[in-house]
C-alpha cells in the first residue's frame, strides 16, 4: 500500500480529486471530485444501487430532501444530542476531539462513554500534541449539525442540513407502504449528501464536513431482525468483494453494549486498514423500532404496519447498512493504486475492476497521421454501449499506455497502418499488458469477454 501523500498526489495529478475552492486559497478539508473521480464515485454508487436495491427482492429507491422539517431532527434525537466532545489548547488554539485524544494518548477504550467532567480530568494530564504545552479548556459539547435558516412569515426559522440520509427514509416509510402497497419485509435505499460539522475533519477524504452516504433501511418483524442482520453481514462482505477490495484489509468491530448509539441494540462497524490506520468504512446496525416509534409519537401519524395476512399491527424493526462513498473511494485507491515493474520498466497502475474504471477503453492512433481514422473508430465505439471511452492522441504510444494505466483504463486500442488494410486493431490489456489483434466488428465482444 502506498503512503497517504503518494495516494493524494496521484489522485490530484490525474484529475480524480482537487483541493476545494483552490483559486480562493482553498477551504480547509474540502475536496472537489474531478472528471475521473466523479466517474469513479458514480460507478461505486451504481454498483451499490444494483447490489443492494435492484438485484434484491422488495427493495425500493428514494430521494428525500437534504433540508427537512426541524421536527424530524428533534424526534430523531439529533437536536441537542448529536454532538462530539471538544477541547481546545489555550496556548496554540488547536482543537481536538477529547475522546480521541484520551483514547490515543491515555489508551482508554471508548472514552466517549465518559462524562465531560471525567474527560476534562483526563485531558488535563495530556501534553498538547501540537505545541507541547498543557493548558486546556474544559471539555464541552460540539454540535455536529449544520444550521441554516429560512425566512418565513414573522421571522426566520432555524433549519438543519441532514447529518444522515436515514431520517428521510423513516419519514417516508408510510408513503412507500401506502403508495406501493409493499409487504414486510422490505427495504428502502437512498444515496445522497450528508453534512456534519466535524470537530476534527482530516485524513484526506476520510473525514469531511460534506460527504455522500449509501444507506439502506430494511424493515422487518422484530423476531426476524437477527436473521436479517446476519443476512446483511454476508451481503456487505459480498459487496466489498465485488468492489475488488481484499477482506484481509477489513476488521469487524462489534460495538460493546455500553458504547452503542442511543438508537441501536447491535452495531458492527466494518473498519478498513487505511494508510493512516484503521478507520470505519461502514456500519451495520439494528435500530429496532426507535425511529418509527419516535416519529409516530411526535407527528401523531402512526407508522405502525398493518399486516393483513397475520391480522396484526406492529411497529417494524429496522436493520440499517450505512456507508460513505468517499471512504470507499479512498480504500479502493489505497489498495489498487500500485507501482510495479514490467518488461519495459516501472509503471503506476490503477488496478480497478472493469465496472469501476472511469474509462473502459482508450482509442489511440499509432501516429498522428492516423488521427482521422482513430477518431472515427472512437466515435463509432462511443455508440456501442461499452461504457465511457476516451481518445488518446499525441506522444509515444508507450507513454499513452502508461497514462491510461495510471487512471485505470482497462483496454487500449491502437489503430495502426495495417488497420486500414485488414480492419483489425491491437487491443492491450492493462493488467497483463498482453496485446491481441482483433477485428474491429468484434471489439465489443472481445472487451466483454476479457473484462474482469
Ligand atoms: P465516525 O465514527 O468515523 O465519525 P460514524 O460512526 O459517526 O463515523 P455513521 O454515523 O455510522 O458514522 O455514518 C455512516 C457512514 O457514513 C460511515 O461509516 C462513513 O462511511 C460515512 N461518514 C460518516 N461521517 C463521515 C465524514 N465526516 N466524512 C466522510 N464520511 C463519513
Note the pLDDT of residue 229.
98
pLDDT for 251 beyond 80: yes
Ligand 1 atom closest to 279 (CA): 3
Q: Which residue has the higher pLDDT, 187 or 300?
A: 187
User: Measuring from atom 19 of ligand 1, which residue has the nearest CA?
Assistant: 324
| Structure confidence by residue, pLDDT tens digits, 276-328 | 999 999 999 999 999 999 999 999 899 999 999 889 999 999 999 999 999 99
- The mean pLDDT value of the chain amounts to 96
Structural class in CATH, domain 83-143 = alpha beta
pLDDT for 333 beyond 90: yes
Every domain range in the chain assigned CATH 3.30.930.10:
4-67+163-334
User: Measuring from atom 8 of ligand 1, which residue has the nearest CA?
Assistant: 280
Which fold does the domain 4-67+163-334 belong to in CATH?
A: BirA Bifunctional Protein; domain 2 (3.30.930)
Note the pLDDT of residue 81.
85
Average pLDDT over residues 119-135: 95
Note the pLDDT of residue 47.
98
Q: Categorize the per-residue pLDDT at 345 as very low, low, confident or very high, splitting at 50, 70 and 90.
A: confident
Average pLDDT over residues 224-249: 98
Q: What percent of the chain has pLDDT over 70?
A: 100
Note the pLDDT of residue 263.
86
Report how far ligand 1's centroid is from the alpha carbon of 39 (Å).
22
| Structure confidence by residue, pLDDT tens digits, 108-124 | 988 988 999 999 999 99
pLDDT for 212 beyond 80: yes
Q: Categorize the per-residue pLDDT at 376 as very low, low, confident or very high, splitting at 50, 70 and 90.
A: very high
| Structure confidence by residue, pLDDT tens digits, 17-66 | 999 999 999 999 999 999 999 999 999 999 999 999 999 999 999 999 99
Regarding the beta carbon of 165 and ligand 1, being less than 6 Å apart is answered no
Note the pLDDT of residue 153.
83
pLDDT for 5 beyond 90: yes
Residue 270 in grid coordinates = 466494518
CA distance 12 to 414: 27
User: Measuring from atom 2 of ligand 1, which residue has the nearest CA?
Assistant: 280
Every domain range in the chain assigned CATH 3.30.40.230:
83-143
Note the pLDDT of residue 334.
98
Regarding the beta carbon of 192 and ligand 1, being less than 6 Å apart is answered no
CA 191 to the chain's CA centroid = 10
Regarding the beta carbon of 210 and ligand 1, being less than 6 Å apart is answered no
Q: Categorize the per-residue pLDDT at 261 as very low, low, confident or very high, splitting at 50, 70 and 90.
A: confident
pLDDT for 245 beyond 80: yes
Every domain range in the chain assigned CATH 3.40.50.800:
359-450
User: Measuring from atom 20 of ligand 1, which residue has the nearest CA?
Assistant: 324
Regarding the beta carbon of 322 and ligand 1, being less than 6 Å apart is answered yes
Best CA proximity match to 130, nearest among 99, 94, 103 = 94
Q: Categorize the per-residue pLDDT at 433 as very low, low, confident or very high, splitting at 50, 70 and 90.
A: very high
Regarding the beta carbon of 73 and ligand 1, being less than 6 Å apart is answered no
Our mutation pick for probing the ligand 1 site, out of 327, 328, 332, counting the most ligand atoms within 8 A of Cβ, is: 327
Note the pLDDT of residue 414.
98
Note the pLDDT of residue 316.
98
Q: Categorize the per-residue pLDDT at 258 as very low, low, confident or very high, splitting at 50, 70 and 90.
A: confident
Q: Categorize the per-residue pLDDT at 235 as very low, low, confident or very high, splitting at 50, 70 and 90.
A: very high
* Dihedral of the alpha carbons of 410, 415, 418, 422, in degrees to the nearest 10: 70
CA distance 436 to 431: 14
320 contacts: CB under 8 Å, gap ≥ 6: 166, 215, 216, 217, 218, 283, 284, 285, 286, 287
Following DSSP, what letter does each residue of 104-124 receive, concatenated? HHH--TTGGGS-HHHHHHHHH
Note the pLDDT of residue 300.
83
Ligand 1 atom closest to 261 (CA): 6
Ligand 1 atom closest to 322 (CA): 14
| Structure confidence by residue, pLDDT tens digits, 73-96 | 999 999 988 899 999 999 999 999
Our mutation pick for probing the ligand 1 site, out of 103, 252, 324, counting the most ligand atoms within 8 A of Cβ, is: 324
Report how far ligand 1's centroid is from the alpha carbon of 196 (Å).
9
Our mutation pick for probing the ligand 1 site, out of 263, 280, 287, 326, counting the most ligand atoms within 8 A of Cβ, is: 280
Report how far ligand 1's centroid is from the alpha carbon of 208 (Å).
9
pLDDT for 140 beyond 80: yes
Q: Categorize the per-residue pLDDT at 275 as very low, low, confident or very high, splitting at 50, 70 and 90.
A: very high
**Domain spanning 359-450: CATH superfamily:** Anticodon-binding domain (3.40.50.800)
Regarding the beta carbon of 213 and ligand 1, being less than 6 Å apart is answered yes
User: Measuring from atom 21 of ligand 1, which residue has the nearest CA?
Assistant: 324
Long-range (24+ apart) CB contacts under 8 A made by 258-264 are 258/110, 258/113, 259/110, 259/112, 259/113, 261/285, 262/77, 262/81, 262/290, 263/77, 263/287, 263/288, 263/290, 263/291, 264/288, 264/290
Report how far ligand 1's centroid is from the alpha carbon of 231 (Å).
22
Q: Categorize the per-residue pLDDT at 344 as very low, low, confident or very high, splitting at 50, 70 and 90.
A: confident
Q: What percent of the chain has pLDDT over 90?
A: 93
pLDDT for 451 beyond 80: yes
Amino acid at each position: 500500500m502506498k503512503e497517504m501523500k503518494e495516494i493524494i498526489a496521484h489522485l490530484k495529478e490525474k484529475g480524480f480529486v482537487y483541493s476545494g475552492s483552490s483559486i480562493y486559497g482553498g477551504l480547509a478539508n474540502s475536496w472537489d471530485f474531478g472528471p475521473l473521480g466523479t466517474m469513479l464515485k458514480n460507478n461505486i454508487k451504481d454498483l451499490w444501487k444494483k447490489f443492494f436495491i435492484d438485484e434484491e427482492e422488495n427493495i425500493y429507491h428514494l430521494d428525500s430532501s437534504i433540508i427537512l422539517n426541524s421536527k424530524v431532527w428533534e424526534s430523531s434525537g439529533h437536536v441537542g444530542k448529536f454532538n462530539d466532545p471538544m477541547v481546545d489548547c489555550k496556548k496554540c488554539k488547536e482543537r481536538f476531539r477529547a475522546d480521541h485524544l484520551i483514547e490515543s494518548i491515555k489508551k482508554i477504550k471508548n472514552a466517549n462513554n465518559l462524562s465531560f467532567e471525567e474527560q476534562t480530568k483526563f485531558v488535563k494530564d495530556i501534553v498538547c500534541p501540537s505545541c507541547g504545552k498543557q493548558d486546556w479548556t474544559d471539555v464541552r459539547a460540539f454540535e455536529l449539525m449544520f444550521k441554516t435558516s429560512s425566512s418565513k412569515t414573522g421571522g426566520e426559522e432555524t433549519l438543519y442540513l441532514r447529518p444522515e440520509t436515514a431520517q428521510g427514509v423513516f419519514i417516508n416509510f408510510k408513503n412507500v407502504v401506502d403508495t406501493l402497497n409493499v409487504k414486510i419485509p422490505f427495504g428502502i435505499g437512498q444515496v445522497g449528501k450528508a453534512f456534519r460539522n466535524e470537530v476534527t475533519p482530516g485524513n484526506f477524504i476520510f473525514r469531511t464536513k460534506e460527504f455522500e452516504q449509501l444507506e439502506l433501511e430494511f424493515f422487518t418483524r422484530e423476531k426476524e431482525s437477527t436473521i436479517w442482520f446476519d443476512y446483511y453481514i454476508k451481503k456487505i462482505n459480498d459487496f466489498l468483494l465485488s468492489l475488488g477490495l481484499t477482506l484481509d484489509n477489513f476488521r469487524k468491530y462489534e460495538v460493546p453494549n455500553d458504547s452503542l448509539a442511543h438508537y441501536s441494540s447491535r452495531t458492527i462497524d466494518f473498519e478498513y486498514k487505511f494508510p493512516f490506520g484503521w478507520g470505519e468504512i461502514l456500519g451495520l446496525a439494528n435500530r429496532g423500532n426507535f425511529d418509527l416509534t419516535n416519529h409516530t409519537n411526535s407527528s401523531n401519524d402512526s407508522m405502525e404496519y398493518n399486516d393483513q395476512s397475520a391480522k396484526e399491527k406492529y411497529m417494524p424493526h429496522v436493520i440499517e447498512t450505512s456507508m460513505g462513498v468517499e471512504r470507499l473511494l479512498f480504500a479502493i485507491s489505497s489498495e489498487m493504486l500500485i507501482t510495479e515493474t514490467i518488461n519495459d520498466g516501472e509503471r503506476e497502475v490503477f488496478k480497478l475492476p472493469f465496472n469501476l474504471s472511469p474509462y473502459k477503453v482508450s482509442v489511440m492512433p499509432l501516429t498522428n497521421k492516423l488521427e482521422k481514422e482513430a477518431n472515427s473508430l472512437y466515435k463509432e465505439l462511443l455508440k456501442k454501449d461499452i461504457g465511457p471511452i476516451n481518445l488518446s492522441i499525441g506522444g509515444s504510444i508507450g507513454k499513452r499506455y502508461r497514462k491510461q494505466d495510471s487512471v485505470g483504463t482497462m483496454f487500449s486500442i491502437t489503430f495502426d497502418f495495417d488497420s486500414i488494410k485488414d480492419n483489425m486493431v491491437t487491443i492491450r490489456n492493462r493488467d497483463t499488458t498482453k496485446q491481441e489483434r482483433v477485428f474491429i466488428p468484434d471489439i465489443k465482444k472481445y472487451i466483454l469477454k476479457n473484462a474482469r
